[in-house]
Structure 1
Amino acid sequence: MTILDDIKKMKSIDKSDVYGSIEQLPQQCIHAYGDCETVMVPESYIDINKIVLTGMGGSGLGARIMESVYALEIKHPLIRINDYDLPSWADEKTLVICSSFSGATAETIENAKQAIKRGCKWLAIGSGGTLIDLAQENKAPFYKIIPTYNPSKEPRMAVGYSVVGQLSLSSKAKIINFTKEDLERICSLLEEIVKKCNVEVPFKNNQAKKLAKKLFNKIVIFVGARHMLGALHTVKNQLNENSKTFSTRFDLPELNHHLMEGLVQPSSNKENLFFLFIDSDLYPEIIRKRLKITEDVVEKLGIGSYTFKVAANAKLSQAFEFIQFGGFVNFYLGMLYQTDPAPIPWVDYFKNRLGQPLGQWKKSK
């Protein structure tokens, strides 16, 4: 029997219940939307002409998903910052959305302080800490996450809270249109994926378990485009941290201008690399054509691949579809390595060396 059908064994490895956080993604989304309904965003926040989204690691996933899904719809210039400094043009006509699950992320705290200093309109998303303190002190709107449905307490596994929080507050600021109907459609889809991919479903009938086996002992290269890029980054982020696996992401059409030649050497690429292509009927026809030809090139180079086609009929739903499915794949891959997915010792080591706080959730575990 494969370990992926040994529920007792997997529970003994997954000491912090990362699996529970994956399975409860629909509940996270519903909880976040309900809590955000009480957040008041002033009318003045609509009077902006530039948008900055900030956040690091798991706390920055909402920004990436919003950026990719709504890229062609948002009327104002939008930039995502994963660094310490806001752009020089950030001013009183700029809306800055700062996200940090712990509320202690150094880069995001600095972003918030700069937004305050420059008179930007700004919003905060976090579970507490300095970020929420700054918002309260400066009377900025904020969504304080109460992570009831994130039993692992890992920020990267609070993706439903951070993403729906970002979408809800952005909708209140009239940047995008995100409705309760959108939420209900997404959660219905996520619940169907949970039914098909949960631990109770045996390997022979479980697409997520089967894909995890294909990725075992491989360097995973994600390939996608347009509205799926934020979701690809989310799954890649969780693959790094939950499966302790190296992976990277390339975007179409950009990769067609350089990456293919880089696959020739070293000769070990054939054994070590594995491409995960994300296909969608919502891609423009030229992107779908590029995807098919890229699949052909990878096959001719003798490198393994798998194509996952998202089935939902809306861009945001497709993004969430892959996040939910990818969460299960990442968990099962970690189980194949017999590695507890929760601890991130090298990230914690780095933060300790840097003198950066780990956040209240790390301290409480």
Structure 2
Amino acid sequence: MILDDIEAQKKVDASQTYESIVSYSEQCQHAFDDTASIEIPDSYRSFNKILMTGMGGSGLGARIIESLYGLQIRCPIIHMHDYDLPAWVDQETLCIFSAFSGTTEEPVENARQAIKRNCKWMAVGAGGTIIDLAIEHNVPYYKIVPTYNPSKQPRLAVGYSVIGQLRLVAATGILSLDSSEIMKINKAMRRIIDTSKREIPFDKNPAKQMAQSLCTKQVTFVAGRHLVGATHAIKNQMNENAKSMATLHEIPELNHHLMEGLAYPTSNSETLMYVFVNSLLYPERIQKRFEITKDIIEKNHVRNLVDLLTIT
């Protein structure tokens, strides 16, 4: 079985995807340390909305941050993945443009439009045009040094992306992020990695067991509230790393349309796999909807279900 054959895995994974994934906690700590000296102009402490942009892997941080902090921060957080800034983006908008390569055309165009509108903006990337523009216009930026992302793939720089952008936002005073929180994050990630790393055999490894369950299915992830962004990142990893079809639906929204589409095609019962990303921290109404949704799916003869329960 290749899931227990480390040498075979290394041959398939020549780009070091695995090494980047097991280094997520180091990425978080590295980003936290590297952003400690970033200075934010006083003018950046006054804004009434936040726009975060980025494409593909470079946009994962924005989605995770919006899901985690959307109900806590006193102003709207909006993520966008397109060329043109909306008309509402103005001098009272804090913009963060992310491009790991620094050359992705959509966020670079976003930055150029922000410059024309005299917006408050910041940049995140490992170099390239987006960082050059930030330096030229003397705006705050976080230049990623991807020591703990040996694959050099944007989608595998999640730790850098999330913590780097959070630190930029925190520097404005709208939220706090201290070293104790990073320690908690790193401890939680290390615990998961230690139980799922490739040295752990299949019969004791939940990640390998799930991989076998999902590998021949079209996967639909189901998540809610604070875990939507993180689940989108998982879906992205399946698309780009595993080269597999995967989609994401949110509760409660999916209850208002998806249930009607379970009957056809009739092959659904064989080809679909639902992965429920549940949480004890969801509001009671959301938790109840998870249970009801699972029941409805099973009654439609789609019995391929995986229920992930987390306290986070």
What range is the shorter-chain TM-score in?
Answer: over 0.9
Letter in 1 for 2:308: F
Contact 2:146 2:152 in 1 (8 A): yes
Aligned-pair CA distance for 1:37: 0.5
**Residue 65 of structure 2 is aligned to residue 66 of structure 1:** yes
**Paired residue secondary structure (1:95):** strand
Contact 2:4 2:201 in 1 (8 A): yes
Letter in 2 for 1:74: I
Give the corresponding residue for 1:309.
309
- Between the two proteins, what is the percent identity of the paired residues? 51
After superposition, the C-alpha distances for 1:182-231 in whole angstroms (9 at most, x for unaligned) are 11100011111111000000000000100111101100000010000000
Give the corresponding residue for 1:10.
9
- Give the count of matched residue pairs: 311
Structure-1 separation of matches of 2:173 and 2:227 = 23
**Paired residue secondary structure (1:264):** coil
Structure 1 unaligned residues grouped into runs of 5+: 312-317, 319-365
Give the corresponding residue for 1:180.
179
Structure-2 separation of matches of 1:176 and 1:89 = 23
Contact 1:29 1:183 in 2 (8 A): yes
**Residue 156 of structure 2 is aligned to residue 162 of structure 1:** no
Contact 1:70 1:176 in 2 (8 A): no
Structure-1 separation of matches of 2:178 and 2:116 = 33
Aligned-pair CA distance for 1:93: 1.2
Give the corresponding residue for 1:331.
none
Give the corresponding residue for 1:25.
24
Please show how residues 94-105 of structure 1 align to structure 2 within 5 Å: 94-105=93-104
Contact 1:59 1:162 in 2 (8 A): yes
Aligned-pair CA distance for 1:177: 2.1
Structure-2 separation of matches of 1:283 and 1:174 = 27
Please show how residues 293-308 of structure 1 align to structure 2 within 5 Å: 293-303=292-302, 304-308=304-308
After superposition, the C-alpha distances for 1:29-48 in whole angstroms (9 at most, x for unaligned) are 10000001111111210111
Give the corresponding residue for 2:33.
34
**Residue 99 of structure 2 is aligned to residue 89 of structure 1:** no
Please show how residues 337-356 of structure 1 align to structure 2 within 5 Å: none
Contact 2:70 2:76 in 1 (8 A): no
Aligned-pair CA distance for 1:133: 0.2
Contact 1:279 1:291 in 2 (8 A): yes
Structure-2 separation of matches of 1:41 and 1:307 = 43
Structure-1 separation of matches of 2:233 and 2:104 = 18
Please show how residues 144-293 of structure 1 align to structure 2 within 5 Å: 144-293=143-292
Aligned-pair CA distance for 1:7: 0.6
**Paired residue secondary structure (1:113):** helix
**Paired residue secondary structure (1:224):** strand
Structure 2 unaligned residues grouped into runs of 5+: none
Structure-2 separation of matches of 1:77 and 1:280 = 24
Aligned-pair CA distance for 1:81: 1.0
Give the corresponding residue for 1:125.
124
Structure-2 separation of matches of 1:301 and 1:67 = 33
TM-score, normalised relative to structure 1: 0.84
Superposition misfits of 4+ residues, deviation over 6 angstroms: none
Structure-1 separation of matches of 2:140 and 2:238 = 33
Structure-2 separation of matches of 1:246 and 1:282 = 29
After superposition, the C-alpha distances for 1:111-155 in whole angstroms (9 at most, x for unaligned) are 101111101101100000000000000000000000000111111
Structure-1 separation of matches of 2:223 and 2:174 = 25
Aligned-pair CA distance for 1:165: 0.5
Letter in 1 for 2:41: P
Give the corresponding residue for 1:326.
none
Structure-1 separation of matches of 2:31 and 2:174 = 18
Structure-1 separation of matches of 2:309 and 2:42 = 40
After superposition, the C-alpha distances for 1:70-123 in whole angstroms (9 at most, x for unaligned) are 111111122211101111121111110001100001000011011111011011
Aligned-pair CA distance for 1:174: 2.1
Moved more, 175-184 or 218-227: 175-184
Contact 2:64 2:228 in 1 (8 A): yes
Letter in 1 for 2:62: A
CA RMSD of aligned residues (A): 0.8
Give the corresponding residue for 2:51.
52
Structure-2 separation of matches of 1:140 and 1:266 = 52
Contact 2:276 2:308 in 1 (8 A): yes
Contact 2:17 2:151 in 1 (8 A): yes
Structure-2 separation of matches of 1:51 and 1:23 = 31
Aligned-pair CA distance for 1:252: 0.5
**Residue 153 of structure 2 is aligned to residue 115 of structure 1:** no
Structure-2 separation of matches of 1:228 and 1:262 = 24
